[in-house]
Amino acid sequence: MTSTSPQNKHLRFFIGGRWVDPAGTETLEVINAATEEVMGRVPAGTAEDVHRAVTAARAAFDGWAATPLQARVELCSAVARKLQERQQEIAVLIAQEMGTPIKVSMMVQAALPAITFGSMEHLVEQLPWEQRLGNSLVVREPVGVVGAITPWNYPLHQLAAKVAPAMLAGCTVVVKPSEVAPLNAFLLASIMEEVGVPPGVFNLVTGYGPVVGEAIAAHPDVDMVSFTGSTRAGRRVSEVAAATVKKVALELGGKSANVILDDADLQTAVVDGLKKCYLNSGQTCSALTRMLVPRDRLGLVEAIAAATVPHFKVGNPLDPETALGPLVSDAQRTRVREYISRGIAEGAKLVCGGAQPPPGLERGYFVAPTVFSEVTPGMTIAREEIFGPVLAIMPYDTEDDAVRIANDSMYGLYGGVWSSDTERALRVARRLRTGQVELNGAAFNPLAPFGGYKQSGHGRELGPYGVLEFTQVKAVQL
């Protein structure tokens, strides 16, 4: 393995406005997903490090909450400008950390965080900071110290989706990024320092979830935990946080259904559906991984999918022609391959792809884009979140049958509906038990509330709803 590049070797945490030595000596290696080489190193935090960060956030809270709203907005805007200036650097870094193809990394991994911080100035006037209700003045106040625990798949975007609205609301934050892709968080911390965010408002501690994450969730001076990650880990966060009855917001897994109705343009719907399934190599919680199609069109859908998949170039994420990069880690690659093998064992029809490495890509955490058909609702690949480039095509008989299959999931994060009749598509969308639904491939809206039903979590991120998540409601009787 190659040695760590100096710019990606971080020895200190950002706590209380300063770069401070960790309490322990253990470090974590960050692996380049395409080369399997060490590309960075960060400290492995401890409960003591978390306590120092929470203490700094608590000390800063009263002053930050009392800071005029416009001043908080201006700091968020300053962060947005710096993120924009460093967009190319961010895109390349995350392409290496987790394998996102560079074009997608520019458009999503690097652009969305700047958009989120920049959107704060446009949300201020929309928010109900105060309103009269009879003889009461109802006010929104910051919830307090927030622990933000974020995943590796959209690492900087998920940080921005928590930190920006929390700061705008008047909260101070302790951040724990995923130990798998933490380097971008240090870049954000350096920007916070550069633009003059007051000491203690933003604090960064890296480390393992069972150590640093649980210490944040358990800490009595943390008023709220905002967690994005797996449903299994979300259950644990809730369990630990319950001991101090703190507020918890969870954005968890998904197994989202893409319902293609019998009057849809199949070619357009299937091709778009593959793109939505394979975005970020399928490492997307809202990926449309279940494609529901009319039973009598199943053969045609399979043919379209089989003809389309070879056009998804798999390879080096820094190559502009690459459509699918590697998965984030060896563990993730192993997990996805095991799901593919299980799909075959349970009788699903393998249309293309499979568990073997793509030709010529034995090094790097690559998985071939895979399509299964004749998938039934009871199969493992129809029920569990795979988090890789694996599509399950599921036939249905009637519109009611399609809705039933779509809702037959413990998840409820996202969904899609395709129809030549927009009103019909909307009627079906209203019946889906999910936090978001896109009609006919509609674009992602970074200001729309994002979050799930059922075991996809609770609470909402992004836009005005994302800011309100970090507030408490107080009624003052007049």
> Active-site residue numbers?
251, 285
> CA 226, CA 229: separation in Å to the nearest integer?
10
| Whole-number Å distance between alpha carbons of 53 and 13 | 9
d(CA 294, CA 394): 9
- For the chain, counts of helices (H) and of strands (E): 16, 22
Cα dihedral sign, 141-146-168-234: negative
Enclosing H/E stretch for 120? helix 111-123
Backbone angles phi, psi at 186, to 5 degrees: -70, -35
8 A C-beta contact, residue 43 and residue 206: yes
Per DSSP, helices labelled H in 212-329 are 214-218, 231-241, 266-278, 298-308
Closest of 134, 213, 202 to residue 168, by C-alpha: 202
3-state secondary structure 121-145: HHHHHHCCCEEEECCEEEEEEECCE
Contact criterion met (CB below 8 Å) for 394 and 292: yes
Torsion angle (degrees, nearest 10) of CA 231, 235, 236, 240:
150
Q: Which residue is it, tokens 């820094």?
A: 318
**First-to-last CA distance in the chain?**
68
Among 89, 72, 81, 83, residue whose Cα is nearest residue 129: 72
* One-character DSSP codes across 327-360: -S-HHHHHHHHHHHHHHHHTT-EEEE--SSPPTT
| AA identity, residue 263 | D
| CA neighbor of 458 nearest in space, from 232, 242, 246, 234 | 234
DSSP E strands: which ranges in 27-157? 27-31, 38-43, 130-133, 136-142, 145-149
Which H or E element spans position 160?
A: helix 155-169
Report d(CA 314, CA 317) in Å as an integer: 8
